[in-house]
Amino acid sequence: MKEKRRFDEGFDNILIYDYDQAYQDGNRISGELLPTAGNRPVVSLNGEWHFCPDVFNSMVRSRWFEETRVNRDGLPLPYDFDFEKWDTVSVPGVWNNQKAEYALYEGPGIYFTIFDYERKPKKRVFLRMEAANYETRIWLNSVYLGRHLGGFTPFAAEITEYLKSQGNRLMILADNTRKGEQVPSVHYDWFNYGGIHRGVELIETPDICIRSVFLQLSPDKEQTLEYRLYLSVNSGEMIEKEAEIVIKELGQGWKVRCEKGENGEWKAAGCLDIDESCLKLWSPEQPFLYHVTVSCGNDVFRDTVGFRRITSQNRQIFLNGKQIFLRGMCVHEESAIHLRSMTEDEMEETLKAAKELGCNFLRLTHYPHNERMAKLADRMGIMLWEEIPVYWALEFENPKTMADAKGQLCELILRDWNRASVIIWSVGNENPDTDARYHFMKTLVDTARELDQSRLIGAACLIDVETHRIKDRLLSCLDVAGINEYYGWYLKDYGELRDILDHYDGEKPIIVTETGAEAALGIRGSATQVYTEECQAAIYEKQFEILFSYPFIRGITPWILYDYASMRRANVLQKGYNLKGLIGSDHRSRKLAWNVVKRAYERKEREENG
């Protein structure tokens, strides 16, 4: 056989332009497989991994993953990699704060680890990643498993047939290059942190694996729970045709029948009768969670689920039939120390700060936050708005962009559809109302509705600042109208805001999804001097005075709880930070506006409760 030589096709791709093609299309690793771990015991792969920025895409271009060190005759070849000798970084973690050289790096980065695994007979093993930014490609023992797009949602790949008992070599290429076709695209107002910023784990299941489970009160039928159960079946013939759903605190269990759909997928879906008068409904005042166990064959999936109904009608929002007002704040996923790779303690601190401020609601902007956040919010009684990064200008006419956005939306919904705290799925933020964008967003709204009828669907829309009207066509498809407005800050005439609201003739309740102003911590002065704490506080006072006087405004989430990094903010005070936080980027120091919001929310809560 002809020996592969340097520059021969297939050995080294340095002379080929589209060397990457085989690793681009197809092989999509999606979040459908194990959107949550289902509380199964997992083997964590978190820890120190070897890392190397891959500035010239050598992992793929020069096929480093093959680890070729000798030729066919066993003679040593030169090689340019040293996976297990490279420096290490923490997984999970963003690479930006792990070494000074990585601080502003955007591009592909290679992660490498070695692990042993004690295989048990008849078990399947999955590699599950909670998120990595943005395009992730995985090789195990030199076998390419596929790629995933989207920086904030989980995905899993079955690795059963490639796994060895010792010395498994796992290579993950995480690439945070900003590209036009991506979601978000190239320009946004937050920091593009790189790396495997959430956990990596192995999950073992029997041949029949419960992929995901949806369980929630029927939005329109009383005394009824709706369930959907999706299976991944390894063997051709499935023996078990029944699954069991048990809700511990109700002392009730149901046997349900699994069927093979036309697409060959095993699933079960239907309704369960319950006595609703015995049910403790989930609410911020009573965040009660039930222990749910679902079993099929030998697989067991566990979850803690709160049951509640969220609806909107006649410009109002109702939780369990009771009219509510959403006292909220926007928040990015970024902590003072771990940046985007927040720890559970840091997430809990965020929720505690929101509660102290008087919030019952948070808008998790502008992308899916860590899966632990919604679990904590379930327990702590904070309602959530969850969003995908369909943000500012995107390639709305590009089918790849559509597929990517849809993929991220589905992965978020499958991951969190049992979280009672999540009351609104948002399909995006501030995109101008063009035909292409309308069709794009409408497809996302339809996708969300098809997957989940137990929540409201929203988006943060723009006001028409020329005509002073709220007329984004997308609003007709939504359950709640999110409106971003920065009167007092970017636009100065509060009269225009009143004009806009006086003429609102829509049927949907409005949530003011953004309003606010910047203030550099500790910079004091007069209320008319931009960037002073006084100026920010005065804008908040005025905004609350106006917004609270319109009864169809049923929620407010000002921008934003904490200052956060954004490279497009470079004046002498900002220094790479968006300073619209009520709290500084240290997550401790509060600005004057904190008290304005706290007082306003206390007053609002008293009013709403009569």
Amino acid identity for residue 258 in this structure:
C
Shortest separation between residue 200's beta carbon and ligand GCB, angstroms = 29
Shortest separation between residue 430's beta carbon and ligand GCB, angstroms = 5
Question: Scanning residues 168 to 227, which ones bind ligand GCB (CB under 6 A)?
Answer: 189
Question: Cβ closer to ligand GCB: 189 or 378?
Answer: 189
Shortest separation between residue 526's beta carbon and ligand GCB, angstroms = 22
Shortest separation between residue 560's beta carbon and ligand GCB, angstroms = 7
Q: List the one residue from 578, 582, 585, 600 that touches ligand GCB (CB under 6 A).
A: 578
506 Cβ contact list (under 8 Å, min separation 6)? 315, 470, 475, 481, 552
Distance CA 82, CA 79 (A): 8
Question: Scanning residues 279 to 308, which ones bind ligand GCB (CB under 6 A)?
Answer: none
Q: List the one residue from 230, 559, 562, 594 that touches ligand GCB (CB under 6 A).
A: 559
Question: Cβ closer to ligand GCB: 451 or 462?
Answer: 462
Shortest separation between residue 399's beta carbon and ligand GCB, angstroms = 26
Residue with nearest beta carbon to ligand GCB? 189
Shortest separation between residue 514's beta carbon and ligand GCB, angstroms = 5
| Alpha-carbon distances of 185 from 23, 178, 342, 411, rounded to whole Å | 21, 6, 24, 19
Question: Scanning residues 455 to 514, which ones bind ligand GCB (CB under 6 A)?
Answer: 484, 514
Question: Cβ closer to ligand GCB: 168 or 484?
Answer: 484
Q: List the one residue from 580, 585, 591, 594 that touches ligand GCB (CB under 6 A).
A: 580
Shortest separation between residue 460's beta carbon and ligand GCB, angstroms = 6
Question: Cβ closer to ligand GCB: 95 or 191?
Answer: 191
Residue 536 sits in the site that holds ligand GCB (CB under 6 A): no
Shortest separation between residue 429's beta carbon and ligand GCB, angstroms = 5
Question: Cβ closer to ligand GCB: 366 or 591?
Answer: 366
User: For the residues of 428-442, what is the DSSP string, one character each?
Assistant: EE-----HHHHHHHH
Region of residue 26 (phi > 0: left; psi between -120 and 50: alpha; otherwise: beta): left
Contact mark string toward ligand GCB, 420..459, x via CB under 6 A: ---------xx-----------------------------
What angle (nearest 5°) sits at the alpha carbon of residue 203, between those of residues 155 and 226?
Answer: 70
End-to-end CA distance of the chain: 86
Shortest separation between residue 193's beta carbon and ligand GCB, angstroms = 16
Question: Cβ closer to ligand GCB: 421 or 484?
Answer: 484
Question: Cβ closer to ligand GCB: 331 or 412?
Answer: 331
User: For the residues of 10-50, what is the DSSP string, one character each?
Assistant: TT-GGG-TTTTGGGTSS-B--TTS-SS-TT--EEE--EEEE
The count of residues interacting with ligand GCB (CB under 6 A) is 9
3-state secondary structure 321-390: CEEECEEEEEECCCECCCECCCCHHHHHHHHHHHHHCCCCEEEECCCCCCHHHHHHHHHHCCEEEEECCC
Question: Cβ closer to ligand GCB: 128 or 366?
Answer: 366
Contact mark string toward ligand GCB, 335..374, x via CB under 6 A: -------------------------------x--------
Helix (H) or strand (E) holding 607: helix 592-608
Q: CB of 238 within 8 A of CB of 193? A: no
Question: Cβ closer to ligand GCB: 51 or 134?
Answer: 134
Distance CA 52, CA 235 (A): 40
Q: CB of 159 within 8 A of CB of 127? A: yes
Question: Cβ closer to ligand GCB: 189 or 201?
Answer: 189
| Strand residue runs (E) in 33-131 | 42-44, 47-53, 88-91, 108-115, 124-129
Shortest separation between residue 484's beta carbon and ligand GCB, angstroms = 5
Question: Cβ closer to ligand GCB: 127 or 597?
Answer: 597
Which residues does residue 266 pair with via DSSP β-bridges, in sequence order?
231, 260
Question: Cβ closer to ligand GCB: 153 or 578?
Answer: 578
List own/partner pairs for 398-402 with CB under 8 A and 24 or more apart: 398/181, 400/181, 401/181, 401/182, 401/183, 401/185, 401/440, 402/440, 402/443
Q: CB of 171 within 8 A of CB of 83? A: yes
Shortest separation between residue 535's beta carbon and ligand GCB, angstroms = 15
Shortest separation between residue 492's beta carbon and ligand GCB, angstroms = 15
Residue 167's φ and ψ, nearest 5 degrees, are 65, 40
Where does this chain bind ligand GCB (CB under 6 A)?
189, 366, 429-430, 484, 514, 559, 578, 580
